[in-house]
Amino acid sequence: MTHAAITGWGKCLPPAVLSNVDLAGLLDTSDEWIVSRTGIHERRISHVPLEELGYVAASRALAAAGMRGGDLELIVFGTCSHDDQVPNMASGIQARIGAQAAAAVDINTACTSFLYGLSNATALIRTGVVRNALVIGAELICDGAAAVVLEATQREQGVLAEKLGCYGEAREILRVQGMGGRYANRGVLYGVTRWQFEGQEIFKRAVQGMCTASESALSRIGLKPDDVDLVVPHQANLRIIEAVAKRTQIPMARVYVNVQRYGNMSSATVPVALCEALEEQRVRPGALLLMPAFGGGLSYCAHVVRWGDRTTPLAESNAALPANQRPARQIIRDVLEAKTRPSPDSLA
């Protein structure tokens, strides 16, 4: 049987840090309030477009796998915060890394986009449509990006089982207005977002979905929580992560957490956490990983992944972001001012 092993990985995090104290200078909140409810202490703010983050992460993942862009057959870009919806983000990465022969597709299931992309790429490798793939998760919400390279193998590696699902009947409890055409005549300026967020209900659905999916994915291949070496969950909220660990009876010592450093980077949380777990030697050769997540929609999923023999990159990429001199608060102010300033097209 053909499997899709993860052979390369790379991340890209913008350097500007927005602390809770900084955020309290922009919004009516406080460090104590944020930490007590989410576990988040700070997050990154990008000074570049999303494509730039994705490109650097992709370049590093390719180097880690010992591959060139021209070797790729498929690029899957998971995001809900596109630079452009048309053309798609994946095609921009294809052009930047010289992957002329690769198919390029975007996936938007909000915070689960990377893992849904991992399922799609794995399935195409298993069925022989492609022999390898690059899967990216990147966002400009709390900002960051990471990518993995998949390659066909006959060894039992990569995604062994997964469960995908969606609470479509509850989709209204997590909505971002101003990011679609339906708001054009409803008093919401396109690109100026309003968040509809019912926290308590989202919490319940998130824990339920991640736990149910985890149990289902493990049972499909005859495994139990005790067999899991490390859980690499979606990093939305520390309380959600702790609730999932408790319900699945997996000790927090076997759960990787970095939400305190980056906040909820949506589709980028799982791949960034995976990269950092590898850097910190939390992933050993042959380890069994569990990756649960939930997102707007309300999509949910869990993936059981068998790691390969290698936990260090084959090579390093020299790809890097352009230098930035602006603090995070100034970047945010500049973006807000640009959104309220009339564009040249609107004045034509």
Domain harbouring 167, CATH code: 3.40.47.10
Residue 191 lies in a domain: yes
* Domains of the chain: total: 1
Helix axis angle for 238-248 and 199-220, nearest 10°, is: 40
Is residue 134 a contact partner of residue 103, using CB atoms and an 8 Å limit? no
196 pLDDT more than 80: no
Distance between CA atoms of residues 248 and 208, nearest Å:
11
Question: Higher confidence at residue 31 or residue 194?
Answer: 31
**pLDDT of res. 297:** 87
325 φ, ψ (degrees, to nearest 5)? -110, -10
In the chain, where does DSSP find H-type helix?
A: 20-24, 31-38, 50-65, 89-97, 113-126, 199-220, 238-248, 259-262, 269-279, 328-340, 344-347
Per residue in 82-95, pLDDT (tens digit) is 998 899 999 999 99
In the chain, what percentage of residues exceed pLDDT 90?
82
User: What is the 3-state secondary structure of 98-135?
Assistant: CCCCCEEEEECECECHHHHHHHHHHHHHHCCCCCEEEE
150 pLDDT more than 60: yes
Residue 127 lies in a domain: yes
* DSSP E strands, 297-337: 299-306
Per residue in 106-137, pLDDT (tens digit) is 999 999 999 999 999 999 999 999 999 999 99
Find residue 174's DSSP bridge partners.
Answer: 197
Question: Higher confidence at residue 343 or residue 277?
Answer: 277
C-alpha separations of 87 from 2, 78, 90 in Å: 32, 14, 9
**pLDDT of res. 348:** 43
Residue 322 lies in a domain: no
139 φ, ψ (degrees, to nearest 5)? -150, 155
**pLDDT of res. 123:** 98
**pLDDT of res. 340:** 60
* pTM of this structure: 0.94
Residue 134 lies in a domain: yes
346 pLDDT more than 60: no
**pLDDT of res. 185:** 58
**pLDDT of res. 186:** 59
Of 142, 211, 264, 303, which one is the catalytic site residue? 264
Residue 258 lies in a domain: yes
294 φ, ψ (degrees, to nearest 5)? -145, 160
* Residue 54 in tokens: 């994705």
Residue 265 lies in a domain: yes
* Residue 56 in tokens: 């650097």
Of 3, 47, 82, 234, which one is the catalytic site residue? 234
Closest of 233, 237, 242 to residue 260, by C-alpha: 237
In the chain, what percentage of residues exceed pLDDT 70?
91
318 φ, ψ (degrees, to nearest 5)? -95, 10
What domain range is 104 assigned to?
3-312+327-347
Per residue in 48-88, pLDDT (tens digit) is 999 999 999 999 999 999 999 999 999 999 999 999 889 99
Q: Which amino acid is at 173?
A: I
User: What's the CA angle centered on 10, arms 5 and 14, to 5 degrees?
Assistant: 155
**pLDDT of res. 347:** 43
pLDDT band at 27 (very low <50, low <70, confident <90, very high): confident
* Residue 116 in tokens: 């849904």
C-alpha separations of 185 from 81, 130, 178, 180, 345 in Å: 22, 43, 11, 11, 19
Distance between CA atoms of residues 196 and 107, nearest Å:
22
pLDDT band at 323 (very low <50, low <70, confident <90, very high): very high
* Residue 59 in tokens: 């370049």
344 pLDDT more than 70: no
Residue 166 catalytic?
no
Of 80, 111, 211, 301, which one is the catalytic site residue? 111
Residue 103 lies in a domain: yes
**pLDDT of res. 342:** 57
190 pLDDT more than 70: no
42 pLDDT more than 70: yes
Q: Which amino acid is at 90?
A: A
Residue 37 lies in a domain: yes
Collapsing DSSP to helix, strand or coil, 70 comes out as: helix
Residue 234 catalytic?
yes
